[in-house]
Amino acid sequence: MGELLADHTTLRLGGPADQFLTHTDPATWPDLARSVPGTKVPFVLGGGSNTLADDAGYPGTVIRMATRGITQHPLDDGLVEVIVQAGEPLAEVVEFTAAQGLSGIEYLGGIPGTIGAAPVQNTGAYGQQISDTLSRITAYDWQLRRTVELRPDNCDFGYRTSAFKNSPGRWTILAIALRLIRSPLASPVSYPHLADALAVPLGARPPLAEAAQAVLADRHHRGLTLPAEGPDCRQAGSVFLNPAVTPAQATAIHHAGGPVHRTSDGSLRASAGWLLEQAGFHPGRRIGTGVYCSDSRTLTLAARESATAASFAHALRVLADAVVATHSIRLRPEPGGMLKT
Ligand SMILES: Cc1cc2nc3c(=O)[nH]c(=O)nc-3n(C[C@H](O)[C@H](O)[C@H](O)COP(=O)(O)OP(=O)(O)OC[C@H]3O[C@@H](n4cnc5c(N)ncnc54)[C@H](O)[C@@H]3O)c2cc1C
């Protein structure tokens, strides 16, 4: 039997891949790409923290990106370009850059997964997203069958979306370049509870190291970290994106006491967690075979003993349908993957 995808996803779900390759040495990429048959594009995995893999596995090649390496060189005006290989854990890159006194990704600390996957859903937190500081992406284009350099302007970045998400399988991200600012100060704080934790007003620029620490503490406090063990250790974080709402829906939600915020792409977004709670769900609630709202957050589903990818996908449908019934809003699953939900 092939390598089980359950061993490579944080939900620990998923059957065998026909062929499973681990990419560790950037220099060997051309050979690896040539070895993949031309008929079907491979599925690329980073840390598997945003992937729901099918119980039947994957009928093709899965490539796990495990290349490591960070280099940096100064540019003009206090800017520094940091080039990171795709398999570097995002959380470690944030720790590294904060320790080097480089500001720009400090609010992305504590997010599981690899930096190579971050552009796919334009990974973000606390008002910061990876596209804010991306300057270049080196990727393999499976359509052209060659390595290309992509500029962020051509990647259709938006709230938790990108060209990579919209054309699954077309590109494999090999490395990214970030443009960070050498500064002892973090980017302006835009989240009220983080500002409170740091005892600074909104918009202030706290010391970089303190901001990075406050993010980790806040994530821990709010159940936004991946526990090593315990009932919630098998999860993929938030299971739905905060949905875009119309001004009329935003007003109705606001009057009902729900949060609505405007994202950097200008859209009004409601809180998916709040909508689920309005629909009657709560932390710890069971949603079908082996699938529960996590003990600390309704918006995080945890897979427990008897869960399967099918029961997890079913739970997503149950939650999404309930919010359609209560608010006429269709939630979209955040984890991507090999399984249609
Ligand atoms: C506890 C927890 C908290 C989280 N908090 C956040 C958060 O605050 N904000 C947020 O945005 N996300 C969050 N996530 C989701 C997830 O961790 C991030 O989106 C992360 O960037 C995914 O990285 P990964 O390597 O695990 O991706 P994977 O699950 O391995 O892959 C995700 C997608 O990207 C594709 N992919 C992976 N690597 C590459 C590559 N090199 N080239 C091309 N495609 C690739 C895959 O095919 C798949 O479609 C959280 C998850 C957990 C478990």
CATH 3.30.300.30 fits 235-337, yes or no: no
Is residue 239's pLDDT more than 70? yes
* Residue of minimum CA distance from atom 2 in ligand 1: 237
**What pLDDT, on the 0 to 100 scale, is given for residue 262?**
87
| Ligand 1 pocket by Cβ (under 6 Å) | 10, 43-51, 65, 86, 90, 111-114, 116-118, 120-121, 123-125, 164, 171-173, 224-226, 235-237, 336
Residue to substitute in 9, 68, 111 for testing ligand 1 pocket (most ligand atoms within 8 angstroms of CB): 111
Domain spans, the chain = 5-65, 70-221, 235-337
Catalytic residue among 103, 131, 238, 271: 238
**What pLDDT, on the 0 to 100 scale, is given for residue 336?**
78
Please, what CATH class does the domain formed by 5-65 belong to?
alpha beta
Mind listing the pLDDT tens digit for each residue in 103-160?
A: 999 999 999 999 999 999 999 999 999 999 999 999 999 999 999 999 999 999 999 9
Distance, in Å, from the CA atom of 241 to the CA atom of 83, rounded to the nearest integer, reads 29
* Residue of minimum CA distance from atom 34 in ligand 1: 117
**139 CA: nearest ligand 1 atom:** 42
CATH number for the domain running over 70-221: 3.30.465.10
Catalytic residue among 3, 103, 160, 162: 160
Is residue 51's pLDDT more than 50? yes
5-65 matches 70-221 in fold: no
**What pLDDT, on the 0 to 100 scale, is given for residue 265?**
78
334 flagged as catalytic: yes
Choose among 188, 190, 174, 182: nearest CA to 139: 174
Distance, in Å, from the CA atom of 225 to the CA atom of 227, rounded to the nearest integer, reads 6
160 flagged as catalytic: yes
**What pLDDT, on the 0 to 100 scale, is given for residue 340?**
42
**If you ran DSSP here, which 8-state letter would residue 97 be given?**
H
**What pLDDT, on the 0 to 100 scale, is given for residue 341?**
37
Tell me if 97 sits within 8 A of 116, measured CB to CB.
no
- Compute the average pLDDT of residues 277-290: 97
Q: In degrees rounded to 5, what are phi and psi of residue 335? A: -65, 135
- Compute the average pLDDT of residues 283-291: 96
DSSP 3-state of 170: coil
238 flagged as catalytic: yes
- Axis crossing angle, helix 90-99 with helix 208-221, rounded to the nearest 10: 150
Is residue 73's pLDDT more than 90? yes
Is residue 338's pLDDT more than 70? no
Beta pairing class for 235-238 and 300-303: antiparallel
